[in-house]
Each structure stands twice: as structure tokens, then as C-alpha cells.
Amino acid sequence: MYFDGISNEKYVNQAKGFESYFISFGMGNARLEIMRKTGINQLQAENMTGWAHVAFSVGSKEPVNYKTEQLRDAGYEVAGNPRVTGNGYYESVIKDLEGNLVEITV
């Protein structure tokens, strides 16, 4: 309402207890993902509440693969190799130096 965001249809993965919406702003270059997951355990970093991850769109599968390997070679932990997700995105997941999840996506 205040920032002219437009939501997609709700995505639900019942097997993982996961739901999300993407809110797009402007020309579609900036998006916010709002997620909910059942069974959150604050002792597991991958399932913490609050800010969970940031995602960078790099345009196509090839740059996702390239950036993933570039970061792996630089010593960053790859938490998720490139793959097509349940909601159709091609992405990989890297942990930054503080353990925050960074998605590299199309």
C-alpha cells in the first residue's frame, strides 16, 4: 500500500511446512520475500526467525553457476548447490562470513 508493492500468488510446500509471497516493487528489479515455516528451532541457524537471507538475481543459470564456483573457490561455504527450487527458481545458496544465507538466483 505505501510502497506500491505487488504480491504474487502464495507458494506453499506442505511437505516442508513452508509458505511464501514475493512482493515486487517498481520495474520488478526489487523484490521482498515474506516467508513462514513450521517447526522453527532458534538453535539452528538455517531456521532462525528475523532476517533470514538476501537474494541477488544475476539474470540466467550460467552466472548462477559461475558465481557459486567463484565464491566456493574464494573459501565461502556453499550451503546449497545450484538447483531448481520447488517454486521454480534456479538458485544456489552461499553463507557469508557471518553465516547469513545469500541466494544467487535467476
Domain boundary assignment for the chain: 1-39, 52-106
Give φ, ψ of 79 to 5 degrees: -85, -20
Q: What is the pLDDT of residue 44?
A: 62
Q: What is the pLDDT of residue 102?
A: 85
Q: Please check whether the domain covering 52-106 is classified as CATH 3.30.110.30.
A: no
pLDDT digits (tens, 9 = 90+) for 37-53: 888 766 666 666 666 67
**CA 59 → CA 54, 63, 64, 89, distances in Å?**
16, 7, 8, 11
Is the whole model's pTM more than 0.85, yes or no? no
CB atoms near residue 20 (< 10 Å):
15
Cα gap 16→102, rounded to integer Å: 20
Residue-wise pLDDT tens digits, 54-95: 787 888 999 999 999 999 999 999 999 999 999 899 999 999
Task: Give the separation between CA 83 and CA 58, rounded to whole angstroms.
Answer: 14
Burial of 64: CB neighbours in 10 Å, binned 0-12, 13-18, 19+ = buried
Give residue 96's pLDDT band: very low, low, confident or very high (50, 70, 90). confident
Residue 66 DSSP symbol: H
> Amino acid identity of 92?
S
pLDDT at 12: 96
